Amino acid sequence: MRTGPKTFTEARRALEKGETSCERLVSSFLDRIEKRNPTVNAFISVDSEGAVERARRLDSESHYGRDRSLSGMVVAVKDNICIRDREVTCASGILSGFRSLYSATAVERLEKAGAIVIGKTNCDEFGMGSSNESSFFGPVLNPFDPERVAGGSSGGSAAAVADGMCHVALGTDTGGSIRQPASFCGVVGLKPTYGRVSRFGLVAYASSLDTIGPITGSIKDAVLVLEAISGKDENDQTTADMGRGSFRTDTRPHVGGLRIGLPEEFLSEGIADDVREAIRRTASNLESGGAAIVDVSLPTSSYGVAAYYILASAEASSNLARYDGVRYGPRYGSDKRPGDRDLATSARGADAVAGTGLSLAEMYEATRSEGFGEEVKRRIMLGTYVLSAGYYGQYYEKAQRVRTLVIRDFDRVFENVDVLLTPTSPTTAFRLGEKQCDPLRMYLSDVFTVTANLAGIPGLSIPAGADSDGMPIGVQLLGPLFSEQKLLNVGRALERFAENRV
């Protein structure tokens, strides 16, 4: 039975009053993971000893001041983000047994602030999916209904927070992979502006789209995590020199005077009635708080999914070329299977590989055929095709032009409105297996999220009630570049509306 999110904001007050300790917090989450993870499958690995040891060390410091503002925050990390000396699998068989030599900047910054990493969470293989069904370790199940998906690709992170297995989690968002599972699991998911948070230590899927961000049980927790992980990083030249800054929301958040845009293209056919009603209800709440609701148009957004899957797949085909059985993971072919560690490069020259009886080209083919799952192979093939001679201009270049038009659409709209309100997903969580045999239907799950990645703008998914089956509904707020503060303030105001209604 799920208990719901346990926010760090509440735990922090108990820590400051001496009513609990970091070790007790970690122990309670480990107990919860032991009880629930066999059902939900949110975690790939759990670092019980390391988490308890760090908690004891933090308790011995006996203060929770500015330098350790996140002391006692128990964090789960999506398993495509590196932690030193810990296995990083990207939920793929091809990385079985591989351990990282360094930690991601986002992880280092959280730990420096006192956070405790408790484990690595399940995800779609290499972040490629909208349901968390493509994982080598099996699907993540939705905490509200185990017959439904948790969303993808950061489904493990969202389910872990929603089911009370950690305070917060790090996810990654390439086309909606933080926001969509947050929506499906009834928690908060923030995709920061591209360049706000360092990507150093994130295993690349589509480098011009990938973003690390928080999944939390409240806006206040999202603020704390964003403050800790944002800022310039010399290891990632795409990070913006915006300073670390503060994203604290107002004590009494208000939306008076804001102009909230409703894009007509995001409210067209194909949206579930309950989702449409949640948008209407959210808009009404914002209007009652003093905001002006404005109808707007983003005409190029209808091409967003097509452009996204061309560009993301093209980048994936390049980034995943390094997984060849030589540099990373196990070598396949002949009698080799996951876990075999024969890394000899050649016994009979460049044309043969020791211990396999295969040529180098055959070994590459065997390794990638057996090591990658079907969805990853599909996207590699699609990406290779759109980059190939004769098709590069027809597909890849056109998709880049569409991306420019999407950016211009957002720039134009944000001249007249402060924030956009849209559904996060056309539906609530769908049933396991429902879309696996129809990739196009699966890809359309991202129709409302991919354009934010194409434009690099921030997006925030927040809970907005439930459908007639009791499944969570999320609504999405989008803003101009580096407008996280405004999104978080509006999100906190919507939380207050929900709290007052309860």
| C-beta separation of 100 from 44 below 8 A | no
Of the residues 6, 71, 78, 336, which is catalytic?
Answer: 78
User: Residue type for 99, please?
Assistant: R
- Pairing of β 188-191 and β 168-172: unpaired
Of the residues 134, 153, 218, 301, which is catalytic?
Answer: 153
| C-beta separation of 80 from 319 below 8 A | no
What's the token pair of residue 4? 């719901």
Q: How far is CA 434 from the centre of its chain?
A: 22
| C-beta separation of 215 from 208 below 8 A | no
Of the residues 71, 103, 130, 177, which is catalytic?
Answer: 177
Angle between helix 398-413 and 304-319 (nearest 10) = 130
What's the token pair of residue 218? 């409240």
What CA–CA distance (Å, rounded) separates 318 from 289? 48
User: Is 284 known to be catalytic?
Assistant: no
User: Is 334 known to be catalytic?
Assistant: no
Q: Dump the DSSP string for 370-435.
A: HHS-HHHHHHHHHHHHHHSTTTIIIIIIHHHHHHHHHHHHHHHHTTT-SEEEEESSSSSPPBTTSS
User: Is 78 known to be catalytic?
Assistant: yes
Q: Which residue has the tokens 């998914």?
A: 461
Task: Give the number of other Cβ atoms within 10 Å of residue 312's Cβ.
Answer: 27
What CA–CA distance (Å, rounded) separates 390 from 383? 14
Please choose, from the candidates 210, 154, 128, 203, the residue with its C-alpha nearest in 3D space to the C-alpha of residue 383: 128
How many alpha carbons lie under 13 Å from residue 99 in its C-beta half-sphere? 4
| C-beta separation of 250 from 489 below 8 A | yes
- Pairing of β 292-296 and β 259-263: parallel
Residues with catalytic roles: 78, 153, 177
